[in-house]
């Protein structure tokens, strides 16, 4: 029987010190994928040794790729080339990782063998037609459940052709899925996005020597090229840093330096939104590492004010909204989010789950179909449910910095999908998190 993990977080405190949060999850996934498909040996440092990225690694091992590590964030990937993958002997189990499942759909659609993709109960509820339908337009033979969810059956031996696809909703996972399928397609594959999304796939393809063309909001590549092995240094994940950016902003007396954080402009919405709310965040020692911009972030506590969050920033902060809602709960006045319906189909319905939790803690939080309205106030203690969502669990842990009593958070085991060691790092910096194992 699997033990349930709960958190009990003592109220108050401040965050102080210097830290480097774990490696970027999005880049870690893509490093394994492209390193496996490259010709030659790719060496990776800073790899995120968390369940989601490890699920991607395990899938490629099942398909015949030799990967050494991870050992202290180091991987050595012996690439097999674009045509060197082998059929897995059993379904590829991807745990809770939507990125793994959606990107693998594209990558496997052009293989000569059949594949089956499965996941845990949460991943098995997430919408997959957003990738399977455009893949079918490219000539893929791919099937989901009647509800459009996993398990996903991908039938090999199909001849793919490039398409010009206009995404109805901004999604880096859909864009990346189609670009990876485009590696195996005849002609050009082009994707137009309605708003900017993270561009790690395009940057990394170019780092592996593959030609990618960007024309405004449209990105294109041609099929039939090759990937050349390279060395990659994965920066610290800004989505993980976000918890401490908010925590140090809301807890009086806090001052933190977060080192080597990826500040890709398609990911920095959390910094922009917090600055609009009045946060003091300095970007120091900016540099380029393996094609990705990196910097150290210094944050000092400040009083925050409620804002109308600009809709253009929503895709640039889509994973950081649970903890941004905590910032809103601590701000003076009202914060309004619109244009974020995507949050309802993440690991949980993050709009409803955060609204329920904040309400249980005494905050006025009113969900809307595509967002939320939060009025800042006094955070009380209490018990909240994370619904097995790693970002919900960590967000409510940060909320305890401004709570009047302890906050108990139920079902926190999935924190390990993105941030192994969260509780120990948080405790070192000044939070007081007790990890409780429950039968």
| Residues with a known catalytic role | 319
Residue 326 CB coordination number (10 Å) = 31
Q: Name the 3-class secondary structure at 243.
A: helix
3-state secondary structure of 375: strand
What's the residue count for the chain? 439
Cα Rg, the chain, nearest whole Å: 21
Cα angle vertex 238, ends 54, 92, to 5°?
20
Please name every residue paired with 71 in a beta bridge, in sequence order, or none if there are none: 74
Contact call for residues 210 and 261 (beta carbons, < 8 A): no
What are the backbone angles phi and psi of residue 149, rounded to the nearest 5°? -125, 175
| Residue 40, Ramachandran bin (φ over 0: left; ψ between -120 and 50: alpha; else beta) | left
Q: CA angle at residue 370 from 367 to 376, to 5 degrees?
A: 40
Using CA atoms, how far apart are residues 135 and 125, in angstroms rounded to an integer? Answer: 20
The sign of the torsion formed by the CA atoms of 246, 247, 248, 251 equals positive
400 close to 326: Cβ distance less than 8 angstroms: no
Cα separation, 269 vs 278, whole angstroms: 14
> Which residues make Cβ contacts (< 8 Å) with residue 22, sequence separation at least 6?
48, 49, 50, 236, 237, 240, 418, 419, 420, 421
Cβ 321 vs Cβ 350: under 8 Å = yes
What contacts 71, CB < 8 A, 6 or more positions away?
none
């Amino acid at each position: 029987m699997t033990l349930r993990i709960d958190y009990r977080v003592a109220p108050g405190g401040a965050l102080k010190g210097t830290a480097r949060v774990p490696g970027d999850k999005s880049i870690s996934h893509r490093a394994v994928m492209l390193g496996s498909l490259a010709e030659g040996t790719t060496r990776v440092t800073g790899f995120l040794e968390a369940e989601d990225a490890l699920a991607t690694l395990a899938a490629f091992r099942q398909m015949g790729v030799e990967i050494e590590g991870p050992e202290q964030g180091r991987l050595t990937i012996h690439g097999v080339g674009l045509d060197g993958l082998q059929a897995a002997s059993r379904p590829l189990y991807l745990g809770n990782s939507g990125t793994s499942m959606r990107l693998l759909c594209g990558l496997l659609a052009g293989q000569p063998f059949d594949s089956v993709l499965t996941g845990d109960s949460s991943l098995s509820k997430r919408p997959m037609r957003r990738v399977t339908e455009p893949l079918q337009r490219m000539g893929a033979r791919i099937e989901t459940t009647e509800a459009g969810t996993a398990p996903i059956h991908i039938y090999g031996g199909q001849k793919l052709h490039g398409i010009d696809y206009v995404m109805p909703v901004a999604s880096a996972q859909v864009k990346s899925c189609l670009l990876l399928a485009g590696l195996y397609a005849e002609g050009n594959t082009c994707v137009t996005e309605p708003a900017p999304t993270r561009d790690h796939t395009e940057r990394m393809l170019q780092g592996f020597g593959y030609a990618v063309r960007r024309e405004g909001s449209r990105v294109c590549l041609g099929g039939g090229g090759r990937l050349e092995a390279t060395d990659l240094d994965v920066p610290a994940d800004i989505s993980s840093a976000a918890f401490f950016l908010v925590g140090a902003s809301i807890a009086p007396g806090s001052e933190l330096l977060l080192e080597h954080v990826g500040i890709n402009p398609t990911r920095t919405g959390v910094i922009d939104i917090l600055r609009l709310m009045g946060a003091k965040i300095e970007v120091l020692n900016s540099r380029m590492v393996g094609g990705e911009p990196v910097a150290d972030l210094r944050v000092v506590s400040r009083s925050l004010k409620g804002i109308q969050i600009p809709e253009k920033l929503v895709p640039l902060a889509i994973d950081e909204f649970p903890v941004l809602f905590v910032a809103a709960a601590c701000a003076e006045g009202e914060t309004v989010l619109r244009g974020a319906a995507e949050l309802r189909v993440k690991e949980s319905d993050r709009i409803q789950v955060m609204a329920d939790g904040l309400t249980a803690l005494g905050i006025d939080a009113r969900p809307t179909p595509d967002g939320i309205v939060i009025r800042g106030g006094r955070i009380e203690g209490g018990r909240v449910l994370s619904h097995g969502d790693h970002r919900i669990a960590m967000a409510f842990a940060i909320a305890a910095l401004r709570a009047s009593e302890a906050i108990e958070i139920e079902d926190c085991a999935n924190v390990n999908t993105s941030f192994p060691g969260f509780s120990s790092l948080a405790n070192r910096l000044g939070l007081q998190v007790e990890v409780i194992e429950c039968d």
